[in-house]
């Protein structure tokens, strides 16, 4: 589990505008897993254009879990990739909580229909027992601790279903977490391989937040390694010469549980 430093670490990468590369839990937390995990620095603009979207099947499934017209919090909303789905496809009343100013600026442009809040997972600033669901999309690894779960428990309406998705599940096995939520987490996986032209593969790789804080020399070495993989068809990333596209393997994992 993380110590209470991740918002600062994330911000150090997200606020870097010099790089041109381009959330019921309900607590639902959705994370894209890259196979293999090859990953370099990025700005909020780079994140907005480079991060993968979500499969239609996953969004449709979320709609079966969260009531229509629900009040939903998108926690760690970033530039609003998931927020846009929640507002425009699911038609939820969405409050997007994001601590990084650069991300909020992009989100406001991308999803004007969402309410924006400057807050963290430990202090959302939102009223108690007021929301039907909390969505966490590709962010739970930054704040997977008990203080986060306690804040989520506080802002959710009594009896709201909960969803959680992520690979960082240790906190859910604690006695304290089991006292707050029905565990273990339930799980469903969606295949979501994506076609990419080569010049968009690096921006996608660079959108990984934990790569943004690597030393420049490590980033350059990683870039060379990625190029070597793309240049060697025997490693499984051969380009389709007819379309000019590479197939970029992804899975979308959806985890959920219910508030006690």
Asked if the 6-259 domain carries CATH number 3.40.50.150, the reply is yes
Reading phi first (left if > 0) and then psi (alpha if -120 to 50, else beta), residue 123 is in: beta
Q: pLDDT grade, residue 254 (50/70/90)?
A: confident
> What per-residue confidence (pLDDT) applies to 39?
28
pLDDT value at position 90? 92
Span 154-179, pLDDT tens digits: 898 875 443 333 436 678 888 988 89
Give 207's Cβ-side CA count (13 Å radius).
25
Cis amide bond preceding 103, omega within 30: no
Query: Per residue in 24-82, pLDDT tens?
Result: 333 344 333 333 322 223 344 444 444 556 888 888 888 888 877 889 999 999 999 99
Contact between 193 and 248 (Cβ < 8 Å): yes
Of 108 and 19, the structure prediction assigns the larger pLDDT to 108
Question: Quick check: 113 pLDDT over 90?
Answer: yes
Q: Which of 167, 128, 127, 154 is nearest to 29 (CA)?
A: 167
Mean predicted confidence (pLDDT) in 211-217: 65
Q: 210 or 41, which is more confident?
A: 210
User: Exposed e or buried b for every residue in 69-104, given b needs 16+ CB within 10 A?
Assistant: ebbbbbbbbbbbbbbbbbbeebebbbbbbbbbebbb
């Amino acid at each position: 589990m993380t110590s209470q430093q991740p918002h600062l670490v994330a911000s150090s990468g997200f606020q870097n505008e010099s790089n041109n590369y381009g959330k019921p839990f309900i607590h639902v937390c959705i994370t894209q897993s890259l196979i293999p995990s090859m990953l370099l620095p990025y700005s909020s603009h780079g994140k907005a254009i480079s991060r993968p979207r979500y499969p239609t099947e996953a969004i449709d499934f979320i709609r079966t879990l969260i009531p229509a017209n629900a009040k939903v919090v998108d926690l760690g909303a970033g530039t609003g990739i998931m927020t846009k789905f929640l507002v425009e496809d699911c038609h939820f009343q969405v409050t997007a909580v994001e601590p990084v100013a650069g991300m909020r600026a992009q989100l406001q442009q991308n999803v004007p229909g969402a309410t924006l809040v400057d807050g963290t997972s430990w202090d959302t600033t939102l009223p108690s027992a007021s929301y039907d669901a909390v969505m966490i999309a590709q962010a739970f690894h930054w704040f997977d601790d008990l203080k986060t779960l306690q804040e989520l428990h506080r802002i959710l309406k009594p009896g709201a279903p909960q969803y959680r998705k992520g690979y960082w599940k240790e906190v859910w096995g604690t006695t304290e977490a089991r006292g707050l939520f029905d565990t273990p987490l339930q799980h469903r996986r969606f295949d979501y391989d994506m076609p990419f032209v080569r010049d968009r593969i690096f921006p996608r790789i660079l959108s990984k937040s934990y790569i943004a804080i690597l030393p420049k020399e490590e980033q350059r070495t990683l870039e060379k390694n990625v190029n070597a993989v793309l240049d060697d068809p025997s490693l499984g990333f051969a380009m389709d010469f007819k379309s000019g596209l590479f197939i970029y393997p992804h899975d979308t994992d959806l985890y959920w549980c219910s508030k006690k």
